Amino acid sequence: MREQWLKRWREGRIGFHLAQTHPALVRHWKALGVPSRAKVLVPLCGKSLDMRWLSEQAHPVLGVELAPEAIAQFLAQRSGDVSRYHQAGFDIARQGSVELWQGDFFHLHIRQVDEVGAFYDRASLIALPPATRKRYAFHLAQLVPPGAKGLLISLRRCDSDAGPPYSVSHEEIDALFTPNFRLEMLEESAPDERGFAESVWALERRGPLE
Protein backbone atom coordinates (compact mmCIF):
# COMPACT_ATOMS: atom_id res chain seq x y z
CA MET A 1 0.00 0.00 0.00
CA ARG A 2 2.85 2.37 0.87
CA GLU A 3 4.50 2.08 -2.55
CA GLN A 4 1.17 2.29 -4.33
CA TRP A 5 0.44 5.60 -2.61
CA LEU A 6 3.85 7.07 -3.37
CA LYS A 7 3.53 6.00 -7.01
CA ARG A 8 0.15 7.75 -7.31
CA TRP A 9 1.68 11.04 -6.21
CA ARG A 10 4.74 10.66 -8.43
CA GLU A 11 2.47 10.04 -11.43
CA GLY A 12 -0.05 12.74 -10.50
CA ARG A 13 -2.95 10.25 -10.17
CA ILE A 14 -4.69 12.21 -7.43
CA GLY A 15 -8.29 12.43 -8.56
CA PHE A 16 -9.33 12.40 -4.90
CA HIS A 17 -7.86 15.90 -4.41
CA LEU A 18 -10.40 18.73 -4.27
CA ALA A 19 -9.49 22.13 -5.65
CA GLN A 20 -11.57 23.83 -2.96
CA THR A 21 -12.49 23.41 0.70
CA HIS A 22 -14.80 20.47 1.23
CA PRO A 23 -18.35 21.84 1.66
CA ALA A 24 -19.15 19.41 4.49
CA LEU A 25 -16.24 20.75 6.52
CA VAL A 26 -17.60 24.28 6.18
CA ARG A 27 -21.14 23.14 7.03
CA HIS A 28 -20.39 21.08 10.10
CA TRP A 29 -17.10 22.05 11.71
CA LYS A 30 -18.31 24.89 13.92
CA ALA A 31 -21.26 22.84 15.18
CA LEU A 32 -18.83 20.26 16.59
CA GLY A 33 -17.88 22.71 19.32
CA VAL A 34 -14.13 22.30 18.93
CA PRO A 35 -12.44 24.70 21.36
CA SER A 36 -10.98 27.87 19.89
CA ARG A 37 -7.35 27.47 18.82
CA ALA A 38 -7.35 23.69 19.41
CA LYS A 39 -4.70 22.00 17.25
CA VAL A 40 -6.27 19.77 14.57
CA LEU A 41 -4.68 16.48 13.53
CA VAL A 42 -5.21 15.67 9.82
CA PRO A 43 -4.01 12.13 8.99
CA LEU A 44 -3.02 11.24 5.40
CA CYS A 45 -3.54 14.90 4.56
CA GLY A 46 -2.22 15.07 0.99
CA LYS A 47 -2.22 18.70 -0.14
CA SER A 48 -5.79 19.32 1.04
CA LEU A 49 -6.99 22.91 1.05
CA ASP A 50 -9.11 21.96 4.04
CA MET A 51 -6.00 22.53 6.14
CA ARG A 52 -5.88 26.14 4.95
CA TRP A 53 -9.51 26.60 5.91
CA LEU A 54 -8.94 25.13 9.38
CA SER A 55 -5.98 27.43 9.91
CA GLU A 56 -8.13 30.39 8.87
CA GLN A 57 -10.52 29.44 11.69
CA ALA A 58 -7.58 30.03 14.07
CA HIS A 59 -6.73 26.34 14.47
CA PRO A 60 -3.11 25.23 14.33
CA VAL A 61 -2.97 22.21 12.01
CA LEU A 62 -0.78 19.11 12.14
CA GLY A 63 -1.00 17.22 8.85
CA VAL A 64 0.67 13.84 8.35
CA GLU A 65 1.48 12.67 4.82
CA LEU A 66 3.66 9.91 3.38
CA ALA A 67 4.31 11.46 -0.05
CA PRO A 68 6.88 14.30 -0.16
CA GLU A 69 5.33 15.50 -3.45
CA ALA A 70 2.06 16.25 -1.66
CA ILE A 71 3.79 18.41 0.93
CA ALA A 72 5.86 20.26 -1.66
CA GLN A 73 2.73 21.02 -3.70
CA PHE A 74 0.83 22.23 -0.63
CA LEU A 75 3.61 24.62 0.32
CA ALA A 76 3.85 25.91 -3.25
CA GLN A 77 0.18 26.93 -3.25
CA ARG A 78 1.03 30.06 -1.28
CA SER A 79 3.99 32.30 -0.71
CA GLY A 80 5.28 32.49 2.82
CA ASP A 81 8.26 31.49 4.87
CA VAL A 82 8.71 27.77 5.47
CA SER A 83 10.68 26.45 8.42
CA ARG A 84 11.98 22.89 8.25
CA TYR A 85 13.27 20.45 10.84
CA HIS A 86 13.48 16.73 11.59
CA GLN A 87 12.00 14.82 14.50
CA ALA A 88 11.85 11.10 15.26
CA GLY A 89 11.76 9.91 11.67
CA PHE A 90 9.61 12.74 10.29
CA ASP A 91 10.67 15.60 8.04
CA ILE A 92 8.57 18.56 9.18
CA ALA A 93 7.72 21.75 7.30
CA ARG A 94 5.86 24.63 8.92
CA GLN A 95 4.13 27.39 6.95
CA GLY A 96 2.09 29.79 9.02
CA SER A 97 0.03 27.75 11.49
CA VAL A 98 0.18 24.55 9.39
CA GLU A 99 2.74 21.87 10.23
CA LEU A 100 3.23 19.08 7.70
CA TRP A 101 4.90 15.89 8.94
CA GLN A 102 6.25 13.76 6.10
CA GLY A 103 6.33 10.13 7.11
CA ASP A 104 4.23 7.14 8.14
CA PHE A 105 1.12 8.05 10.17
CA PHE A 106 1.40 4.75 12.04
CA HIS A 107 4.83 5.81 13.34
CA LEU A 108 3.40 8.95 14.94
CA HIS A 109 3.68 8.74 18.74
CA ILE A 110 1.38 10.29 21.31
CA ARG A 111 4.31 12.32 22.69
CA GLN A 112 4.55 14.08 19.31
CA VAL A 113 0.90 15.16 19.33
CA ASP A 114 0.42 16.12 22.95
CA GLU A 115 -1.07 19.48 21.94
CA VAL A 116 -3.67 18.01 19.58
CA GLY A 117 -7.27 18.68 20.63
CA ALA A 118 -9.28 17.76 17.50
CA PHE A 119 -9.02 15.82 14.24
CA TYR A 120 -10.29 15.77 10.68
CA ASP A 121 -10.45 12.83 8.25
CA ARG A 122 -11.68 13.62 4.76
CA ALA A 123 -10.00 10.86 2.74
CA SER A 124 -7.87 8.85 5.18
CA LEU A 125 -10.08 5.93 6.14
CA ILE A 126 -11.24 5.40 2.56
CA ALA A 127 -7.64 5.38 1.31
CA LEU A 128 -6.87 2.29 3.38
CA PRO A 129 -7.62 -1.37 2.53
CA PRO A 130 -9.83 -3.35 4.92
CA ALA A 131 -6.94 -5.00 6.74
CA THR A 132 -5.47 -1.61 7.69
CA ARG A 133 -8.62 0.29 8.70
CA LYS A 134 -8.92 -1.31 12.15
CA ARG A 135 -5.30 -0.42 12.87
CA TYR A 136 -5.98 3.15 11.71
CA ALA A 137 -9.05 3.63 13.95
CA PHE A 138 -7.19 2.28 16.98
CA HIS A 139 -4.09 4.40 16.33
CA LEU A 140 -6.18 7.55 15.93
CA ALA A 141 -7.84 6.79 19.26
CA GLN A 142 -4.42 6.53 20.93
CA LEU A 143 -3.30 9.89 19.54
CA VAL A 144 -6.21 12.11 20.57
CA PRO A 145 -7.22 12.88 24.17
CA PRO A 146 -10.59 12.14 25.80
CA GLY A 147 -13.13 14.72 24.71
CA ALA A 148 -11.36 15.48 21.42
CA LYS A 149 -13.86 16.04 18.61
CA GLY A 150 -13.51 15.45 14.92
CA LEU A 151 -15.17 15.08 11.57
CA LEU A 152 -14.99 11.96 9.37
CA ILE A 153 -16.02 12.01 5.71
CA SER A 154 -16.42 8.55 4.19
CA LEU A 155 -17.73 6.83 1.06
CA ARG A 156 -19.72 3.69 0.41
CA ARG A 157 -20.73 1.87 -2.73
CA CYS A 158 -22.70 -1.36 -2.79
CA ASP A 159 -21.14 -3.07 -5.80
CA SER A 160 -17.38 -2.71 -5.42
CA ASP A 161 -14.53 -3.60 -3.08
CA ALA A 162 -11.91 -2.00 -5.33
CA GLY A 163 -10.01 1.08 -4.31
CA PRO A 164 -8.73 3.49 -3.35
CA PRO A 165 -11.02 5.13 -2.63
CA TYR A 166 -12.49 2.15 -0.82
CA SER A 167 -16.12 1.72 0.07
CA VAL A 168 -16.67 1.62 3.84
CA SER A 169 -20.10 0.60 5.10
CA HIS A 170 -21.90 2.31 7.94
CA GLU A 171 -21.69 -0.94 9.89
CA GLU A 172 -17.91 -1.02 9.54
CA ILE A 173 -17.56 2.60 10.63
CA ASP A 174 -19.65 1.80 13.69
CA ALA A 175 -17.55 -1.28 14.49
CA LEU A 176 -14.26 0.57 13.98
CA PHE A 177 -14.96 3.69 16.02
CA THR A 178 -17.66 2.99 18.61
CA PRO A 179 -15.28 1.23 21.03
CA ASN A 180 -13.33 4.48 21.51
CA PHE A 181 -15.56 7.27 20.16
CA ARG A 182 -19.08 8.55 20.42
CA LEU A 183 -20.33 8.56 16.85
CA GLU A 184 -23.13 10.37 15.00
CA MET A 185 -23.87 10.41 11.27
CA LEU A 186 -24.64 13.98 10.23
CA GLU A 187 -25.56 13.52 6.56
CA GLU A 188 -25.30 11.25 3.54
CA SER A 189 -25.42 12.32 -0.09
CA ALA A 190 -27.14 10.58 -2.99
CA PRO A 191 -24.79 8.33 -5.00
CA ASP A 192 -22.65 10.16 -7.56
CA GLU A 193 -21.93 9.07 -11.13
CA ARG A 194 -19.52 6.41 -9.84
CA GLY A 195 -22.09 5.06 -7.41
CA PHE A 196 -20.40 6.46 -4.30
CA ALA A 197 -22.53 7.96 -1.54
CA GLU A 198 -20.64 10.30 0.79
CA SER A 199 -21.38 10.26 4.51
CA VAL A 200 -20.29 12.72 7.18
CA TRP A 201 -19.78 11.71 10.82
CA ALA A 202 -19.14 13.58 14.06
CA LEU A 203 -16.85 11.80 16.50
CA GLU A 204 -15.84 12.46 20.10
CA ARG A 205 -13.14 10.51 21.91
CA ARG A 206 -14.56 8.64 24.88
CA GLY A 207 -13.07 8.96 28.33
CA PRO A 208 -11.26 6.06 30.05
CA LEU A 209 -14.28 5.02 32.15
CA GLU A 210 -16.89 5.12 29.36
Name every residue whose Cβ is closer than 8 Å to that of residue 63 and which is 6 or more positions away in sequence: 42, 45, 48, 51, 74, 98, 99, 100, 101
Question: Is 65 part of any known ligand binding site?
Answer: yes
pTM to 2 decimal places: 0.92
Any idea which fold 2-205 has?
Rossmann fold (3.40.50)
| 27 in a known ligand binding site | no
Q: Is 122 annotated as belonging to a binding site? A: yes
Does residue 165 have a cis bond before it (omega within 30 degrees)?
A: yes
Question: CA–CA separation, 53 vs 124, rounded Å?
Answer: 18
Largest interatomic CA distance in the chain: 47
9 a known binding residue?
yes
Omega into 164 within 30° of 0, i.e. cis? yes
Q: How far apart are CA 12 and CA 17, in angstroms?
A: 10
Q: Where are the beta strands (DSSP E) in 31-148?
A: 39-42, 61-65, 83-87, 90-95, 98-102, 116-121
Tens of pLDDT along the chain (210 residues) come to: 665 655 555 555 555 556 789 999 999 999 999 998 999 999 999 999 999 999 999 999 999 999 999 999 999 988 889 999 999 899 999 999 999 999 999 999 998 998 999 999 998 999 999 989 999 999 999 999 999 999 999 999 876 667 688 999 999 999 999 999 999 999 999 998 888 899 999 999 999 877
